[in-house]
Amino acid sequence: MPQTRTHALALDAADPLRALRNEFLIPKHRDREQTYFVGNSLGLQPRGARAQVLEVLDKWANEAVEGHFSGDTAWMHYHRLVREPLARLVGALPGEVVAMNTLTVNLHLMMASFYRPTRERRVILVEAGAFPSDRHAVESQIRLHGFDPAEALVEVEADEPAGTISMQAIERAIAEHGPRLALVLWPGIQYRTGQAFDLVEIARLAHAQGAVAGFDLAHAVGNLPLALHDSGADFAVWCHYKYVNAGPGAVAGCFVHERHGHAGTPRLAGWWGHDPETRFRMAPQFVPAAGAEGWQMSNPPVLAMAPLRASLELFDRAGGMAALRAKSEKLTGFLDSLVRQRLGDVLEIVTPAEKERRGCQLSLRVAGGRERGRELFEYLRDTGILGDWREPDVIRISPVPLYNRYSDVLRFVEEVEHWRGF
């Protein structure tokens, strides 16, 4: 429809963040830019990432070990170069966040500190269908403490028609298992359905029962505005290779609320988590650094952290998550409305319709079952439109406000219409 195309192009022209797209490298498909909707799996490369990595390589070549100590980007303190922008991104105090390790490693470190089960209180509450790595980590922690996951792992089942979970179901489960509940471990956004959750309310409910509240924010950081300090969460973990565009296998992030960031909180210790003022005295006693930095194990992977610096600069340039969220609501809303108006006989939207219950991802189920869904997914990929597939039957499409356009969304809809007409 020419009128819709004109409208999409007008929206792109009026977008105050449109220039940010030029700060990313867009893969090509048959000599044209790919229409890329997979920022929920791997974000695009910021143009500035290469320069940040080369800066580290040049410093290594020219200074070798002295690079740890020289200049504003000394490797000894390199992790602190991302601390303040990361705190702004997740709504935390600078001392409450640290970039380190990878997501599941950080989850294990947090559970070592915050999952302290007793015979009376040993249950971990998660959502049914949690990301497998989270479930593996939780099961192994329960077994490590000598308990049986069949009894100590409670999964909250979906109770809404599309397979999402109501707040009432979460509240009921927390209340039902309250006296036995040690930890509520919940996602910011459920990876398969794209459903976003009220972290403040979940933390409140967990604490009211005497349990710890921890969050896996893999699909929420860089996607939703967060206020981790004010939420009351005890801890949170996330990765940076999705919406934060720090590259494949990027160094991850961790939040520890300031009320826990003292020496008395139990933890697995490593030398880099030692108080930096006394670290090089090489004493045998561990004295943790204040705040989240006290959970570091080893020195930061500087080459891996360099692209994160480049990406965080773009979030600041955009005006932070409030500006990006404003565009995201419009962009995802545009996709939602077009799918409902033009593709209702082909696609079911699994993700909640309410904007406060979703980020930029829409999970779509194709009419006709799994094989029909795979057929559409492969068709889109062959035409240069890339979403991703999640078993058993979901295509995830994520219009990322940093680099996706309204015209990208329209192209997706038009290609599905074309496929439907075969």
CA dihedral 262, 267, 272, 273 (to 10 degrees): -10
User: Quick one: which of 289, 284, 282 has its CA closest to 265?
Assistant: 289
User: Quick one: which of 224, 178, 233, 164 has its CA closest to 204?
Assistant: 233
Please give the class, per CATH, of domain 2-33+319-420.
Answer: alpha beta
Using one digit for the tens of pLDDT, what is the confidence trace for 129-174?
Answer: 999 999 999 999 999 999 999 999 999 999 999 999 999 999 999 9
Using the Cα atoms of residue 374, residue 380, residue 383 and residue 385 in order, give the sign of their dihedral.
negative
Using one digit for the tens of pLDDT, what is the confidence trace for 299-354?
Answer: 999 999 999 999 999 999 999 999 999 999 999 999 999 999 999 999 999 999 99
Burial class of residue 134 (count of CB atoms within 10 Å of its CB; 0-12, 13-18, 19+): buried
CATH 3.40.640.10 domain position(s) in the chain? 53-316
Using one digit for the tens of pLDDT, what is the confidence trace for 71-124?
Answer: 999 999 999 999 999 999 999 999 999 999 999 999 999 999 999 999 999 999
Assess contact for 181 and 153: CB atoms under 8 A: no
pLDDT at 97: 98
Q: Is the pLDDT at 20 greater than 70, yes or no? A: yes
E strands, 177-284, where?
Answer: 181-187, 212-216, 235-238, 253-256
Tell me the average pLDDT across 393-416: 97
pLDDT at 4: 87
Q: To the nearest whole number, what is the mean pLDDT of the chain?
A: 97
Using one digit for the tens of pLDDT, what is the confidence trace for 171-202?
Answer: 999 999 999 999 999 999 999 999 999 999 99
CATH 3.90.1150.10 domain position(s) in the chain? 2-33+319-420
- Contacts of residue 67, defined as CB under 8 A and 6 or more positions apart, other chains included, come to 59, 60, 74, 75
Give the number of C-alpha atoms closer than 13 A to the C-alpha of residue 48, restricted to the C-beta side: 18
In the chain, % of residues over pLDDT 70 = 99
pLDDT at 3: 62
Using the Cα atoms of residue 321, residue 327, residue 332 and residue 336 in order, give the sign of their dihedral.
positive
Paired with 28 in beta bridges are 33
Assess contact for 370 and 393: CB atoms under 8 A: yes
pLDDT at 421: 85
Assess contact for 70 and 296: CB atoms under 8 A: no
DSSP secondary structure code for residue 281 in this structure: G
| Spatial distance between the Cα atoms of 7 and 410, rounded to a whole number of angstroms | 10
| Spatial distance between the Cα atoms of 322 and 226, rounded to a whole number of angstroms | 10
DSSP-derived 3-state class of residue 295: helix
pLDDT at 238: 98
Using one digit for the tens of pLDDT, what is the confidence trace for 375-385?
Answer: 999 999 999 99
Q: Is the pLDDT at 1 greater than 70, yes or no? A: no
Which pLDDT band holds residue 2 (cuts at 50, 70, 90)?
A: low
| Spatial distance between the Cα atoms of 314 and 402, rounded to a whole number of angstroms | 8
Using the Cα atoms of residue 73, residue 110, residue 97 and residue 362 in order, give the sign of their dihedral.
positive
53-316 under CATH 1.25.40.10, yes or no = no
